[in-house]
Amino acid sequence: MHTPEPGLVQPMAPPSPTPKAGSPVTGRPGTGPLIAVEHAAEDPAGSGLEPFAPLRLGVVGFGRMAQALLLPLIDSGLVQAEAVRAVVGSEASAARLAAQHGLVVSSDPSQAWQAPVLLLAVKPQVLAAAAQAAQGIPSAVAAPAASAGTPAGASQAAGPKPLLISVLAGVTLARLQALFPAHRIVRAVPNTPALVRQGLTGLAWGEGISAPQQLWVRQLFAQVGEVLDLPESQLDAFLALTSSGPAYVALVAEALADGAVAAGLPRALALRLAHRTLAGTAALLQEQELHPAQLKDMVASPGGTTIAGLRQLERSGVRSALIEAVVAAAERSRQLA
């Protein structure tokens, strides 16, 4: 499989040289309209995405992660709500979500699976059921194998494979391709800060993904944050840090606020100050490119209040607990495969 090389993706521009694994491939999120592939004519295998046309987007599983990705795009007008076809497990959930978000939501999988691009966002535990539900739907059925006399590429010319973007934790490209042979597969690992366009997404590409399709997928996720191309072998660790990490940071924020309340601050003020402290610290680390240890040493003066607090954190094993949390999340992601 081709490994991307460094380059910058700009909306409405032709595909740049594809990026090196682990390198960011976007600039500022949300800077331009999301487009169907403009350069599909350059893709001899067929991209499955129509140029300059409203894109039909199927969504299988419309839970928190799918909403975190799609709702900011819809709210900003980058994706048209009427072009989205979402499927959920029950009619009651479909009615509630349709009323809440103004989208076409159904418990019938056929409309979603007939879209040229599909976002697969079910829980890994129900993946097999989702694959079974897709059987018998025309666009979700693999094309018949070419006979010995069929010219090379003729089966693709009859209809390019639709694109499936999976955000399922731990489920490998190989397993997805076996379950959905009629699709070209992309694994994406986004995180919940996408809700405020501060997300991180790691991408790993399956076989046969064209340059226009790669461009479109990067543009999709670039609207809600930074995008990185990674070897699939690194996605479990990426998930453990970036997707599970917000929960760990939220726990730290809550604990800091609790400590401030114990020290005498009102609850609402303590929470606001904890959130602002974390946000300011992250900005300082990133903008000045500081190693965390440098910032720690900048704040901790000899015999002062900070070093007294750091001693207590080390005594309580906070550093080790965070390390083990990331390792445990990565291992659990591997188990889900």
pLDDT of residue 23: 54
Q: Poorest-confidence range of 44-48, 283-287, 303-307, 330-334?
A: 44-48
Fill in the amino acid letter for 249: V
The strand pair at 199-205 and 225-229 is best described as: parallel
Domain parsing of the chain, residue ranges: 40-233, 243-336
CATH superfamily name and code, 243-336:
ProC C-terminal domain-like (1.10.3730.10)
Assigned token pair, 87: 């499927």
262 alpha-carbon distance from chain centroid: 38
Residues in the chain: 337
Reduced to 3 states, what is the DSSP secondary structure of residue 267?
helix
Topology match between the domains 40-233 and 243-336:
no
Assigned token pair, 233: 């072998």
Assigned token pair, 231: 């070897």
pLDDT at 225 over 90: yes
Buried-state track 76-94, b at ≥16 Cβ within 10 A, e below 16: eebbeeebbbbbbbeeeeb
Q: Quote the CA–CA distance of 258 and 276 in Å, as a whole number.
A: 15
pLDDT at 13 over 70: no
Q: Quote the CA–CA distance of 334 and 315 in Å, as a whole number.
A: 31
Of 239, 232, 235, the closest CA to residue 174 belongs to: 232
Q: Name, of 8-22, 123-137, 162-176, the range with top average pLDDT.
A: 162-176
Assigned token pair, 42: 């350059």
What would the pLDDT profile of 300-326 be if each residue is shown by its tens digit? 999 999 999 999 999 999 999 999 999
CATH number of 40-233: 3.40.50.720
Type and span of the H or E element at 228: strand 225-229
181 within 8 A of 173, measured Cβ to Cβ: no
The pTM (predicted TM-score) of the whole model is 0.77
Assigned token pair, 101: 């978000």
What would the pLDDT profile of 128-147 be if each residue is shown by its tens digit? 888 888 876 765 434 433 33
Question: What average pLDDT does the chain have?
Answer: 80
Type and span of the H or E element at 200: strand 199-205
